[in-house]
Structure 1
Amino acid sequence: MAYDGTVLKSVIEELNSNLTGARVEKIYQPSKEEIVLNLRNYTGKYKLLLSATSNNPRVYLTNQTFENPKSPPTFCMLLRKHLENSRVLSFEQYKMDRILKINFLSKNELGDDLQKSLIVEIMGKHSNIILIESDTKKIYDSIKRVNSFISRVREILPGLIYDESLISTKENPLCFETLDKSFKSFEINKSIKNNLVNTFTGISPLIARETAYRANLDEDRAISSLDEDSLGKLYDAFKSIVSSLNANEFKPTAIIDNENIIDFSSIDLMMYPNSEKKFFSSISELLDEFYIKREKSQNLNEKSSSIKKVVKNHLDRAKNKLSKQSQELEDAFDRDKYKIYADLISSNYYKIDKGIDNISLENFYNEMEPLNIPLDEKLSAQENANKYYKKYSKLKTAVNKLNIEIENNKNTIKYLNSVLLNIELSETSADLEEIREELVEMGYIKKNYKQKKNKVQKIKSLEYNSTDSFKIYAGKNNRQNEELTLKFANKNDMWFHVKDAPGSHVILKEDGREFTEKSIEEAATIAAYNSSLKNSDNIIVDYTLKKNVKRHPSKIPGLVSYVNYNSIIISSKNLSDYENYEKNTSKTL
């Protein structure tokens, strides 16, 4: 998936059709590497997004709302000085490469007309936004300054001359005069795809694959394996695509999988069936939908990763602590030998001289079998006996203490594993913020007293309608689980939870009717799906009336104890059916 030169060409065609002559009303810089131009003409207002971010560089018209910083950055102030109230003359593309040039007509200090250009280079981590004087190409400044330490080939600094020719030596595919020559210069040992991408500007692997498909050839075939007829078909297929581009014949197309855009293009991609395509009325509409979802997903991943890291660190510590506690408990269970040592030493102290490090004594606890006893050579016989008596007494006391600590630590591990699952189930930033707030309250994340406290939005649990019209509720995190089970549910509601694993609390609401087998199975399926065992086969789900469920003695959020329960096995087929069921019936409460 790529914002390539063909996509930029369709964006430029749209911009020239809608924004030529538009006035620049406002300029904002919502983030470090993004600019938003608010434009107006006789047809209305437009927002043009220019992004030089390394992960999502792009240009298009957007309906997105941006939060701007209180103090505009330096580059934003420069653009306001030079471009506000100027008129847009045109939008240009360099050699169908991912380089956009926006030409403006502005005024200098004396009121004379002066043309300035804003260059947007869409090139991954090398993306940039550069303001230049149109005639001299002198650089005023850029959103990213590039000095000789960063690039020896091409510096981008105020006062230098901008030169786009240094970016690429590839051929312009729109120039038909050199197209035949370019094909003849293909490297015969390289594949069709690599030759097309490496020879022409703006051609992405996607367009190369489409070209090969239209020529009925394998994209990975080496040029040397093509006969004259096959090479001719490849040439005709490529020329057909670039001819459409030259004529501005665009058909913004998205490839959809599970309601998500997995690929997009400015032209119709014939290699995909129509059932997998979604067509858009404009390229900006397509890009806006794709990048809003993509940025939302990326922001969610970044936020969840930071919380997940904290939880995993605490989880690792708890597991290490449990391992040590288990070893200590094992030692404590072996404590009786120290009492035997002490008793034998006390009974034979007259035989034991100070200064020896061990002695063999007859063990009257085991038919007088000799027993070797380690001694501290610095201590007397009675002192050695007292030392063993103290060790025995200490370990005897430790057993009860260790059992309590081990149980508490096991509950902590259960809780942290449930939090990890809740993070995986989170679909919005608000979901993650609620989990973060819970971790602050539990002491796993330090409270930032300097940070302005925003009221955390309370996220409501999920509601489902069963096939038999029973209401089913599922918690998305520990707070919601506790709220559902201990406050919302009535004593005769049915409670569900996956057996011996983290998962959502699910409530099947009683409405005066007897619960049907179908409704119980569906509620259990929801519990299995929203658990850490989701990808397993034959998941066991426990269920019981809510009156049999109590708050866990540990008082840890989301942990409960329950009695008098039944179990049901949920198969992978149940889970597969649920995914379709969820799409059709799930809604937020």
Structure 2
Amino acid sequence: MALDGILLHKIVSEIKEEFPAKINKIYQVSNSEILFQLKCQSGRKNLIISCHTIYNRLNLTQRNYPTPEEPSSFVMLLRKHLEGAVIQSIIQGGLDRYVKLECSSRNDIGDKVTLYLYVELMGKYANLIFVDASGKIMDALKRIPPFENNRRTIQPGAMFKETEIQDGKKDPFTSSTYDHELTLTKQFHGFSPFLSKEVEYRLGHDESFSNIMKEIEDSNSLYLATVNNETVFHCIPLTHLEQKSKSYPLLEGLDTVYYHKEERDRIKDLSGDIYRFVNKELKHLKQKLPKLESSLVESLDCEKWHTYGDLLYAHLHLNTKGENKIQLPSFDDNSLIEIPLDPKLDIKGNAKKCFQKYTKAKKGQIYIQEQIDLCEKEIDYFEGIQEQLDLSTFEDAKEINQELVELGYLKKKDSKIRKQKKKDTLPKIKKITLANGIQISYGKNNLQNEALTFKIANKNDMWFHTKDFHGAHVVVHATDLDEDTLRTAAMLASYYSKGRESSSVPVNYCQVKNLKKIPGAKPGMASLSTYKTIYIDPNEEFILNLEK
């Protein structure tokens, strides 16, 4: 769901409270996101500008974003002119979906200059444009050459033209009247079809237009609801949906909506397309398996070739050269058996060829069965990786990439990620502390599972894992568990598994000392000697509240 002009008006009102703000660092988080690290009035914050086709937005956040060490040419230009500059103001173009950031900086000879950043949040046309004091474009995140748009060229050196504001529409914050015959989107600036539905619903329930607009003007919250598996939101309660909506502070709510959605794109941009590789491997293996099974069935029927060879050797006096087949009487009941022949060979040569096929098929049975077992294990492994990627953070995805490199599936590439000053020897394991003081740790990929179970956990700690699904290893750092702790650990194991959409998911649990590492197995594989089982229904809301 895209931002509309009225919601952007609310966002700008919140952000401008932090200006003037000094720009400390500039990074390109992904192909469509630029991050400005600011020193604001209330402390250090991140200004994220996203020009994603769907998730385009402007937001002030305290969340951490991964930062690549190889900046693009556009980011290098921004760093040259804007690092150390001060953002003096932010101005929205009426109630349209673009804003102008005015920055004061100094040029190479120390003279004070004014530079502008235009943030346009218009769906697939979303863009960040860097403009000098004379109105000349210095560069843009997305360049638009004349042959694509001859009315508005976005290229270095071209003169910048602000987006034209539509004529004939009114400002909803200053107008108290409206036409009942026209939709609100056609009458007022800043209205989206979604907000129009909400306001029209309220008007139909005896609320006045001016009161609704005053509620919008006074709101500092974002209300979220889910419709057909899509998150919808705005700055007033969504009464027309006739369902309960969650309320967040405005800027925090935007983070809640967009952060994890765009994380998938960051994973692909900065870690390589692991998804595509895993899907390609799975497709290849699933096509290979039935072929191997067909070959095994054929090799198990190898005795016929032995019989064919014996029959041909018993009739060496026959001339079969040039023939494609021959019928010979069986040794058992004299019934005719049809034998395929190679017309280029005589009967002795065909007999020898039949025995070669018999020998090859007999020996191949063991090899083909080994290949089937290996193929099934590889399918199982990559399906597990696929599940881990679906719930992974950026750091989790990096560790999955590292695992695939170490196992030889991927070639090691020069890292695009900024190297940390201190590198931990063990993966970072997620930990939570319950109200009773008990700590629970859980891994979200194979490397984390391996480290948690076999290197970090104490032998008397309790270990949890789903019975029939790939998933997280969960360790409770205690021996005697009450009912709430037991169910919380089982809930974590079921949610971070392939069975998170199921009900009554079986979760095995035991002490760590009852686990054994499987020799030669992939990371994270373990066998259990003694265990108990609990059945649990995964609850996403419970997990999200637990991890806050």
Match 1:196 to one of 178, 184, 191: 184
Is contact 2:47–2:61 with CA below 8 Å preserved after alignment?
yes
Structure 1, unaligned runs of 5 or more: 187-194, 218-232
- Secondary structure of 1:183's counterpart equals coil
Q: Which amino acid aligns with 2:297?
A: E
Shift in CA distance, 407/60, structure 1 to aligned 2, threshold 3 Å:
closer
- Structure 1 residue 339 displacement after superposition: 0.7
Structure 2, unaligned runs of 5 or more: none
Answering whether residue 150 of structure 2 is matched by residue 183 of structure 1, we say no
Is contact 2:172–2:189 with CA below 8 Å preserved after alignment?
no
Could you tell me how far apart the structure 2 residues matched to 1:311 and 1:58 are? 31
- Structure 1 residue 322 displacement after superposition: 2.2
In the superposition, the TM-score normalised over structure 2's length comes to 0.77
The aligned counterpart of 1:299 is: 266
Answering whether residue 330 of structure 2 is matched by residue 363 of structure 1, we say yes
Shift in CA distance, 431/449, structure 1 to aligned 2, threshold 3 Å:
closer
User: How many residue pairs are counted as aligned between the two chains?
Assistant: 537
The Cα offsets for residues 339-393 of structure 1, whole Å up to 9 and x where unpaired, read as 11111111222244544332222211x3222212222233222222121112111
Shift in CA distance, 421/275, structure 1 to aligned 2, threshold 3 Å:
closer
The aligned counterpart of 2:121 is: 122
1:94-109 equivalences in 2 (<5 Å) = 94-101=93-100
Match 1:172 to one of 170, 173, 176: 170
1:138-157 equivalences in 2 (<5 Å) = 138-141=135-138, 143=140, 144-156=142-154
- Structure 1 residue 337 displacement after superposition: 0.5
Q: Which amino acid aligns with 1:502?
A: H
Q: Which amino acid aligns with 2:51?
A: T
The Cα offsets for residues 551-572 of structure 1, whole Å up to 9 and x where unpaired, read as 4454333344556x677573xx
Match 2:537 to one of 559, 569, 575: 575
Could you tell me how far apart the structure 2 residues matched to 1:354 and 1:274 are? 83
Q: Which amino acid aligns with 2:147?
A: F
Could you tell me how far apart the structure 2 residues matched to 1:463 and 1:65 are? 18
The aligned counterpart of 1:53 is: 51
- Structure 1 residue 312 displacement after superposition: 1.9
The Cα offsets for residues 85-125 of structure 1, whole Å up to 9 and x where unpaired, read as 7894x654434222334567899999999987654433223
Answering whether residue 192 of structure 2 is matched by residue 214 of structure 1, we say no
The aligned counterpart of 2:208 is: 237
Shift in CA distance, 443/261, structure 1 to aligned 2, threshold 3 Å:
same
Q: Which amino acid aligns with 1:201?
A: H
In the superposition, the TM-score normalised over structure 1's length comes to 0.72
Shift in CA distance, 378/295, structure 1 to aligned 2, threshold 3 Å:
closer
Is contact 2:26–2:83 with CA below 8 Å preserved after alignment?
no
Q: Which amino acid aligns with 1:171?
A: K
- Secondary structure of 1:350's counterpart equals coil
Q: Which amino acid aligns with 1:8?
A: L
* Overall identity of the aligned pairs, in %: 29
1:503-542 equivalences in 2 (<5 Å) = 503-505=471-473, 511=479, 527-539=493-505
Is contact 1:93–1:100 with CA below 8 Å preserved after alignment?
yes
Shift in CA distance, 440/363, structure 1 to aligned 2, threshold 3 Å:
same
- Structure 1 residue 171 displacement after superposition: 0.8
- Structure 1 residue 531 displacement after superposition: 3.0
Could you tell me how far apart the structure 2 residues matched to 1:244 and 1:537 are? 42
Q: Which amino acid aligns with 2:219?
A: K
The aligned counterpart of 2:403 is: 438
Q: Which amino acid aligns with 1:30?
A: Y
> Between Structure 1 and Structure 2, which shows a larger proportion of helix residues?
1
Is contact 1:304–1:423 with CA below 8 Å preserved after alignment?
no
Is contact 1:475–1:504 with CA below 8 Å preserved after alignment?
yes
- Secondary structure of 1:148's counterpart equals coil
Q: Which amino acid aligns with 2:179?
A: F
The Cα offsets for residues 128-187 of structure 1, whole Å up to 9 and x where unpaired, read as 4556688xx84454525544322233334567665546453451324867x75x72773x
Could you tell me how far apart the structure 2 residues matched to 1:105 and 1:425 are? 42
1:5-20 equivalences in 2 (<5 Å) = 5-14=5-14, 19=19
Greater Rg over alpha carbons, structure: 1
- Structure 1 residue 215 displacement after superposition: 1.0
Could you tell me how far apart the structure 2 residues matched to 1:45 and 1:585 are? 28
Could you tell me how far apart the structure 1 residues matched to 2:15 and 2:260 are? 23
- Structure 1 residue 458 displacement after superposition: 3.5
Q: Which amino acid aligns with 2:49?
A: S
Cα-Cα RMSD: 4.9
Shift in CA distance, 93/340, structure 1 to aligned 2, threshold 3 Å:
closer
Match 1:403 to one of 369, 380, 391: 369
Answering whether residue 378 of structure 2 is matched by residue 412 of structure 1, we say yes
- Structure 1 residue 318 displacement after superposition: 2.1
Q: Which amino acid aligns with 2:401?
A: R
